[in-house]
Amino acid sequence: MLLHNHSFPHLLLLYLQTPETCVPPGTPHKPHLRFPRSSCDTSPREHVPIEKKNKRLWSTKIWKKTVGSYIEFFQAIQDLGLLNNDSKVLCVSAGAGHEVMALTEMGVLDVTGVELVESSPRVSRADPHNLQFFDDVFDLAFSGHLAEALFPSRFASEIERTVRWWGVFACS
Ligand SMILES: *[C@@H]1O[C@H](CO)[C@@H](O)[C@H](O)[C@H]1NC(C)=O
């Protein structure tokens, strides 16, 4: 579905078929593990270097499957002629970085992922209501969160300021 809205950058509302991609950012990938750990939790925490943690995470089936479904999704955008390897793309509320990895694997050279919580190395910390970018720097932006994308108006105006095309993942 393609929507045009005069008070907003060109808005693409697209449907992802895979329900796994519709988890909120920061949702643990292993739901049986307790999350978040409270500050009163005194049990020892395993210290794993970030590179090792990432390697582990990126080799899981669920991670690969989710990245695969984002690749399919972005290929559809490519087919619309809105995305190519030289596009500057912003992923807002990028979570652990699935969509950033998907775009990178497709060959898109300039991908920026932001989220309230950093997820090194693909997603950096940013407040979506106050993006630290200059005006009109991005060709395309995506968010997995329709509600955030449309409200509140501050969020919308930040997107309007920095982006030409704006896409929203919705789950079918
Ligand atoms: C985009 O990059 C990918 C990966 O490097 C490459 O396979 C593909 O041919 C590139 N597309 C274009 C149109 O250059």
Q: Could you list the pLDDT tens digit for every one of the 172 residues in the chain?
A: 344 444 455 666 666 655 455 554 444 444 444 444 445 555 566 688 888 999 999 999 999 999 998 999 899 889 988 899 999 998 887 888 999 999 999 999 999 998 888 888 888 888 767 777 777 788 888 887 655 555 566 666 777 777 877 666 655 4
Q: Is the CB of 132 under 6 A from ligand 1?
A: no
pTM above 0.95, yes or no: no
Q: How far is CA 10 from the centre of its chain?
A: 18
Identify the H or E element spanning 78. helix 61-79
Ligand 1: which of 71, 78, 85, 87 to mutate, judged by most atoms within 8 Å of the beta carbon?
85
Cα–ligand 1 centroid distance for 143 (angstroms): 24
Domains, the chain: 67-171 (3.40.50.150)
Q: Is the CB of 107 under 6 A from ligand 1?
A: yes
Token pair listed for 138 = 């991005």
List Cα–Cα distances, 114 to 25, 32, 36, 128, in angstroms. Answer: 11, 26, 20, 8
DSSP assignments along 113-159, one per residue: EEESS-BTTTEEE--TTS----TT-EEEEEES-HHHHHSSHHHHHHH
Token pair listed for 120 = 């090194």
Q: Is the CB of 85 under 6 A from ligand 1?
A: yes
